[in-house]
Amino acid sequence: MNYITVGKENSCNIDLYYEDHGAGKPVVLIHGWPLSSASWEKQVPALLRAGHRVIVYDRRGFGNSSRPAVGYDYDTLADDLHRLMTTLDLREATLVGFSMGGGEVARYLGRHGTERVKKAVFMAAVTPFLLKGADNPAGVEASVFEAIKQAILADRPAFLTSFLLNFYNLHAFGGKKVSDEAVRLSWNIAAGASPKGTLDCVQAWLTDFRDDLIRVDLPTLVIHGDDDRILPFAATGSRTHEAVKGSRMMVVAGAPHGLNWTHAEEVNRELLAFLEEEPAI
C-alpha cells in the first residue's frame, strides 16, 4: 500500500492512503463522506481508458488512511491534499471533489492557489455554504446538523443505514441502478471509518466556502442531481455554479446524491468531455 505522511498525533504518524494509476494529465478524485476512494469505482476505469493519470486517496479517518482524533476541519483537509499534490509533484491537475470532497477543492484553491491546478469539478458538492443564517437564507437550519450528530452518537451503524437510503434514493433506484450488494459495500466502507472522524466531519460541513469560490478563476464544471436528498440542488449545486464565474453546470435529471454510481454513464461522459477541452485563448 502507498502512503503519504501528513502529520503526527502523539506517537502516531497520520498517513494518507493513495493510489496513482496511468499516465497523462493528472486527475485527483476526492471522495465524499462517509465513504472512501473506493467510491470512485465507476470513474477510475473510464478515466484510465481515456488516457488520464488518476490519483485517488482516502481522507484522514476514512478508508485505509490513519484514523486520528484531530484534523477534520477544512483547512487541515486542504493542507492534506496539498501535501499529496506536492509530494507527487502534480502539475496541470484537475481536482474532482464529490460531496464533502467539493469542500476540499474549494478550500484548496482558496488556500493554496492554482499553481498546480488546471481545472476543477464540483460533483454533488457541499459548497458554497450550508448553514442557514441572515446572510444565507437558502441554507439549512442548524438543528438538522445537530440531529445528525445525535444520531451518529446514539447508533452510528443504524444511522448509516438510513443515510444510504437517501444517498442513493433507494425507493427509486434500489435493485435497479444500485444493487443491494453495492449498498452493502457502501455501508461496510462507512462503518469502517473512524467514529470520531465521522462525527467531526458533520461540523466541517458548516464551513463557509463563498470567499473561496469567488476567487476560482479556472475552468470549472458543476455536476449535481436534481433529486439530491442529501445536498439539495437549490442550496448547493445551483449556488456553486452562480458563485464560480464562467462555470459550466450539468444537472442530471432525477439523479440522487450518489449519482457517480447510479448515473455513472452520464457523469463520466460529461467529465471526460470537460477534461478533453482546451481553454479558449
Q: Which domains does the chain have, with CATH numbers?
A: 2-276 (3.40.50.1820)
Q: What is the pLDDT of residue 279?
A: 66
The pLDDT, as a whole number, for residue 1 is 76
pLDDT for res 235: 95
Could you give the residue numbers annotated as active site? 99, 228, 257
pLDDT tens profile 5-50: 999 999 999 999 999 999 999 999 999 999 999 999 999 999 999 9
Q: What is the pLDDT of residue 121?
A: 98
Q: What is the pLDDT of residue 280?
A: 58
Low-confidence ranges of the chain (pLDDT < 70): 279-281
Q: With contact defined as beta carbons under 8 Å apart, do 246 and 271 qualify?
A: no
Q: What is the pLDDT of residue 4?
A: 98
Q: Which of 162, 178, 191, 163 is nearest to 259 (CA)?
A: 178
Strand pairing report for 248-252 and 117-123: unpaired
Global pTM?
0.97
Rg (CA), the chain: 17
